[in-house]
Amino acid sequence: MNNNKPLDTPIVCKGLWKIFGANPKKILKEVDPTWSRTEVQEKTEHVIAVKDVSFQVERGETFVVMGLSGSGKSTLVRCISRLIEPTQGEVLVDGVDTVTMAEKDLIDLRRHKLSMVFQHFGLLPHRRVVENIAYGLEIRGMRRDERLKKAGEVLESVGLSGWGDNYPRELSGGMQQRVGLARALAVDPEIMLFDEPFSALDPLIRREMQDELLRLQSVVRKTMVFITHDFLEAIKMGDHIAIMKDGEFVQIGTPEEIVANPVDDYVRDFSEDVPRHKVLTVNSIMNRDCCSCSENETAANALALMDKHQSQAAFVVDQHRSYQGTLTRGQAMTNLESGSPMNQIVQQETAVSPDALIETLIGTATRINHPIPVVNSENKLLGAVDHRAILLAIEGS
Ligand code: ADP
Ligand code: MG
């Protein structure tokens, strides 16, 4: 196999098309780009399953492809491992185009670099759990004792210790999918492809499996492509999400970008169901023009600033805009006469990061009744979040 050194972008997909039908290459040349998928189907009896899709997946990230049933997600993910032959386009895995790859290299790629988890588990019914997990290692030619040892370790990591000798049918759906996950992990692949792995599971088990995969991913840091038709699952699992419709990507972005700025009604319809405070960060609601004052200011001037900003507090900063503490209206009033220096009267308070999710502010907001200061990693004051903005984010959910 081509031993190009690994790039930091293990998957690059360029201009990928998949057309099903008798003569896809011919249709690709002739098709009018303005025709809808239904029109193409009616006029040519071909289905455009994937239409000119381009994207890339960075190492260690989870890239989610989300769309309604029939939008082309399974076809797309199968084109990555070439279980389906693309009609046109490039799929670079670690810089090597799989579309033009020799069969031998392709087998090698599937054995060593990629592994896949399917919706319907795909376990071998006559093999015990531990042998199912060891299957990929067996194909690679690993010795029996070695592969069973490795399978046992992976079994433990997915929370199934003690179930190795059972047969798949003796396990619940959720447990069977844990086996599916373990089998994919056992070969220690660089890239994992998931095609709606949790869609067949009950909601509670499903949530448990999502949490389990997030936990595993925080340890193994694989490059993952995760397919789902569930927007909330996409938001929860994805570092980046691509929204797919009729074979095309209509939007790619972080969960926050997509929820905050859906490109069209199709995306908006999904994002409306999302509790915004669980997705949006402080950055999107903070007031950059908050009431800040210098540490050399008098209490009287600080009060005047608060009036101007209609704020219940002023955030005291030094000459480098480094956050020193919060001066409330009450403290300012008490100290009007004293003339005490600011650094003796302000109190240091929990400041939050602009990257924190809004929902993490709720606790702080119930404790204090003035805006919450926002600082960067160098403790520089960036702005403040008032309670109204938090409530609006929650109400807009
Ligand atoms: P999804 O996984 O998003 O539900 P699929 O990739 O399975 O979507 O299917 C995309 C479109 O391609 C659908 O219209 C489907 O009917 C069609 N399709 C999928 N596989 C085939 C096939 N082997 N032959 C013909 N049409 C297919
Ligand atoms: Mg599918």
Query: Please, which pLDDT band fits residue 64 given cuts at 50, 70 and 90?
Result: very high
Percent of the chain residues topping a pLDDT of 70: 98
| pLDDT at residue 84 is higher than 90 | yes
Q: What is the pTM of this model?
A: 0.83
Q: According to the model, what pLDDT value does residue 2 have?
A: 47
Q: What is the pLDDT of residue 67?
A: 96
Q: Which ligand is nearest to the CA of 199?
A: 2
- The whole-number pLDDT of residue 346 equals 84
CA of 83 to the centre of ligand 2 (A): 14
Ligand 1 centroid to Cα of residue 43, in Å, is 18
- Per residue in 282-318, pLDDT (tens digit) is 998 999 999 999 988 888 899 999 999 999 999 999 9
Whether the per-residue pLDDT at 324 is higher than 50: the answer is yes
For residue 148, pLDDT over 50 is answered with yes
- Compute, in angstroms, the gap from residue 229 CA to the centroid of ligand 1: 14
Q: Is the dihedral of CA 361, 364, 369, 373 positive or negative?
A: negative
Closest ligand 1 atom to 229 CA: 3
* pLDDT for the residue numbered 397: 54
Residues forming a β-bridge with 252 = 242
> How much is the mean pLDDT over the chain?
91
Segment 207-232 mean pLDDT: 94
Confidence at residue 342, expressed as pLDDT on a 0 to 100 scale: 78
Q: What lines the ligand 1 site, CB under 6 Å?
A: 20, 47, 49, 67, 69-75
Q: What average pLDDT does this structure show over 205-233? A: 94
Whether the predicted pLDDT of 1 surpasses 50 = no
At 130 the pLDDT is 96
Q: Is 368 a residue whose pLDDT tops 90? A: no
pLDDT band per the 50, 70, 90 thresholds, residue 231: very high
How far is ligand 2, taken at its centre, from the CA of residue 305, in Å? 58
Residue 78 Cα: closest atom of ligand 1: 6
C-alpha distances out from residue 319 to 288, 363, 375, Å: 18, 31, 15
Residue 3 confidence (pLDDT) above 70: no
**Nearest ligand, CA 45:** 1
Band of pLDDT at residue 343, cut at 50, 70 and 90: confident
**Torsion angle, alpha carbons of 149, 155, 161, 167, to 10:** -100
Ligand nearest to the CA of 118: 2
| Span 26-55, pLDDT tens digits | 999 988 888 888 999 999 999 999 999 999
pLDDT of residue 73 exceeding 90:
yes
Which protein residue has the closest C-alpha to ligand 1 atom 17?
49
Token pair of 171, please?
Answer: 């396990």
Region 90-117 average pLDDT = 92
The whole-number pLDDT of residue 340 equals 76
| More confidently predicted of 343 and 181 | 181
Model confidence at 6, pLDDT cuts 50, 70, 90, reads very low
Q: Relative to the CA of 69, which ligand 1 atom is closest?
A: 4
Q: How far apart are CA 393 and CA 397, in angstroms?
A: 7
CA of 70 relative to ligand 1 center, distance in Å: 6
Q: Please identify, by atom number, the ligand 1 atom nearest to the C-alpha of residue 244.
A: 3
| Alpha-carbon span 152 to 133, nearest angstrom | 8
Q: What number does the ligand 1 atom closest to the CA of 20 have?
A: 25
Sheet bearing 240-245, strands edge to edge: 114-117, 191-195, 223-228, 62-67, 240-245, 248-253
Report d(CA 305, CA 54) in Å as an integer: 51
